[in-house]
Chain A
Amino acid sequence: MAAETETQTQTTETRQEEPELDRGPLERWVSDSIDNPERTYRALFYTAMIVMLVTTLFPFYWLLMVALTPEGQIQDIILTPNGFNPGAFIEVFQVLPFHRFMFNSFVIATVATVFVLVIASLAGYVFGRLQFPGKAPLMLLVLIVSFFPPAAFFIPLNDLFNSRIPIIAPLLSNGTLYNTPPALIIPLSALFMPLAIFILTTFYSQIPDGLEDAARVEGTTRLGALFRVIIPLSAPGVATAGVLTFIGVYNEFFFSFLMTDGQPQNWAPILEGLLGYQTQYQTMYNLMAAASILGVLPVAILVVIAQEKIVSGLTAGALKE
């Protein structure tokens, strides 16, 4: 932008030589813009930015207005709520055990994240640092999985999770995985693991070979070098992969919707809670809005805290190839 001010001073000089004309405001504005293009670009830039901010953030503001409007008065809300009822944020927990749904989502997302990080660390290390036959095809296989439609995997998985598995029968009441956390954690881990592998591959491959060699010379085992040298040195990468996996699992719809019966005690995640405010007989719009705001808060906070990691993770994950 430094060079722009240069052109700006240049144009102001030429303008002073121009004879004063009797101009209307529009003409004056047009001639100003022609004389001083950089300033016009700047104005355009700010206009575009404000338009963009309004369109991205307005839905949240509007959601808050709906949530604050007392039930029964909810119609044509635009900028202000019809009435004021912050009680909806408490009622949300009374009508449905929304806290239980949130808790379920947190447990599922956290366990899946840890699970993904451990498995993807091993795979990321292999793809990032080792040479072996079949590396490219295997990497490709991982990529392909992450883009196939979940519907193509769903039918057999649904059957599997609904059938009695003898090995786990002593652990679970009826021996099936349906309505248990693994029914969500297993498919969701597989769904988000490829992205984590890509991110970790990028980060692990950037660690200089010398550091790992030194650790090996000092007497660490192979796995010791991985867990004591490579992973700690790539902590930012691991955090990035973790944040993206957590957000991904928390936001997922397909398996989250279909792998439980929607009951909070059966580990139904947050999305079932949100849909629960719409029953056959009654739709509690203000509670839907309030619950949506509560549901967005955790990820919104995560975005504010970890925005750098999210940005670097998305770009590394998608553009690494």
Chain B
Amino acid sequence: MSTDTGTQTDSGAGRQRSILTPATNWIENLSESAYAYLLLTPAFALLTLVAFWPLVATFRLSLLADQTKGAAALGGFVGLENYLNVLTGDIRLARQFFDMELVGGFPFIQLGTPFFQQALFVTLAFALLNVLFTTLIGFGQALILDQDFRGRRWVRVAIIIPWAVPIVIQGMIFFLFFQPTVGFGSGVMQSLGLFSANPLASSQDSFFIVLIADIWKTSAFMALLILAGLQSVDRSLYDVARVSGASPWQRFKMITLPLVLPALLVAMLFRTMEAMRIYGLIESTAGCTTVPSMTCLVIEGLFGGTRIYGTAAAVAFITAAIIGLLISVYIVKFRDNEGGLY
């Protein structure tokens, strides 16, 4: 509708003008602030519908009891009981399908550990390792792309393509790769003594498969952000360093790293937040019961054998709170340097 008001100034559209003139005049006479708010209305209407209202509604749901009997999936108001149950691992209702037996087991998790601790561990460990490796690999890729060589354009395309692969296909590739009958991945890993015979049925092995799959896809994102940092470095600094006899390693340590660091930290934080939401890749490779991430728990709670909306909502809200905490750290940390977010 805004487009119409914009095009109505066409000299030919006389009839249209008469209809839209009042609206145009009204817009023209708005103060700059009011005009700004008007233009922001569609964006915030969409965000209210899809994000702000659902977040509040999720919180409300999380305060209601789980109900398995009867048609309604929701019981009465129980306050923060769902949160307490989730955090302390005391879930009577959820036990039947949530307290999943981890096949193969994680090195630091004992069988029978309450589901939320499992999920929290899986999610945090995944995010941490993912960020560590994507940063290292992404840095390597960025340093390569920063050089001048023939075919650089195509090397860059090769690096970006995994980033653009749909999550389900990324999952499919690694699912096939580690299928004992199809791929040679599981055979190779087994002969190295790293994985069991059917890695996609083991929690520990699947965790690493999911990790590898995600590093394969997302290191390109890191690489591009780091590359942007690298290319904004003043090249004359390198010439000065070379003249003073600095080795390439010294040049990297004293010039490149400090100058790229701000961009790198932002990229790492963004990757952490994204890695904490992991779901689709798990669902399409090993399945949510093998590698239970926090989002997996929410979906299992909603669509699993027993529908436990209240508990699922509490888990969803805890995940959101952890990510919210990360965002606040980011704001506090970066607001002062570089003028922050406007």
Residue numbers of A with Cβ under 8 A of B are: 1, 3, 37, 41, 45, 48-49, 52-53, 55-57, 59-60, 62-63, 66, 74-78, 118-120, 122-123, 125-127, 130-133, 135-136, 138-145, 147-158, 186-187, 189-191, 193, 197, 219-224, 226-228, 247, 250-254, 257-258, 270-271, 274-275, 285, 288-289, 292, 295-296, 299-300, 302-304, 307, 310-311, 314-315, 318-319, 321
Contact = CB atoms under 8 A, between A and B. Distances in A.
Contact of B334 (A3, A221, A222, A321): A321
B24 to A, nearest CB: 5
A299 B164 contact: yes
B341 to A, nearest CB: 5
B242 to A, nearest CB: 6
A118 B6 CA distance: 13
Closest 8 CB pairs of A and B: A253-B280, A190-B50, A156-B57, A315-B228, A271-B168, A152-B320, A227-B6, A132-B33
Contact of A3 (B6, B33, B183, B239): B239
Contacts of A77: 182-184
B108 interface: no
Interface string B78-111: 0000000000000000000000000000000000
Given A75-B181, A156-B54, A148 B323 contact: yes
Contact of B279 (A53, A118, A253, A299): A253
A148 to B, nearest CB: 5
A197 to B, nearest CB: 7
Contacts of A119: 42-43, 46
A270 B279 contact: no
Nearest to A289: B176
Contacts of B33: 132-133
B46 A318 contact: no
B319 interface: yes
Contact of A258 (B52, B158, B228, B299): B299
Contacts of A158: 302
Contact of A254 (B50, B279, B313): B279
A48 B143 CA distance: 10
B270 A140 contact: no
A189 B46 contact: yes
For chain B, the bracket of interface size reads: 35 or more
A304 B153 CA distance: 9
B164 A274 contact: no
Nearest to A123: B43
Interface of B: 2-3, 5-7, 9, 24, 27-28, 32-33, 35-37, 39-40, 42-44, 46-47, 49-55, 57-58, 61, 140-141, 144, 147-149, 153, 155-162, 164-169, 172-174, 176-177, 179, 181-184, 187, 216, 220-221, 224-225, 227-229, 239, 242, 248, 263, 266-267, 270, 273-274, 276-277, 279-281, 283-284, 294-295, 298-299, 302, 309, 312-313, 315-317, 319-320, 323-324, 327, 331, 334, 338, 340-342
Contact of B176 (A66, A157, A220): A66
Contact of B47 (A75, A127, A142, A227): A142
A49 B280 contact: no
Given A147-B274, A149-B276, A155-B312, A76 B187 contact: yes
Contact of A1 (B148, B165, B227): B148
B316 A149 contact: yes
Please indicate which of the listed interface residues A77, A154, A252, A275 has the most CB atoms of chain B within 10 Å of its own CB: A154
A49 to B, nearest CB: 5
Given A145-B47, A271-B166, A253 B160 contact: no
Contacts of B225: 314-315, 318-319
Contacts of A45: 144, 147, 149
A318 B55 CA distance: 24
Nearest to B185: A62
Contacts of B168: 253, 257, 270-271, 274-275, 295
B295 to A, nearest CB: 5
B43 A122 contact: yes
B138 to A, nearest CB: 11
B161 A56 contact: yes
A138 B41 CA distance: 11
17 contacts: A59-B174, A76-B183, A118-B3, A143-B327, A145-B47, A148-B51, A149-B323, A154-B298, A155-B58, A189-B50, A190-B46, A193-B43, A258-B299, A295-B168, A296-B166, A314-B221, A321-B340
B54 A318 contact: no
A315 B183 CA distance: 36
Contact of A190 (B47, B155, B176): B47
Contacts of B47: 141-142, 145, 190, 193
Contact of A155 (B32, B181, B316, B327): B316
Most buried by A among B37, B43, B153, B263: B43
Contact of B169 (A37, A75, A131, A295): A295
Contacts of A52: 140-141, 144, 155, 159
Nearest to A159: B57
B135 to A, nearest CB: 14
A156 B312 CA distance: 12
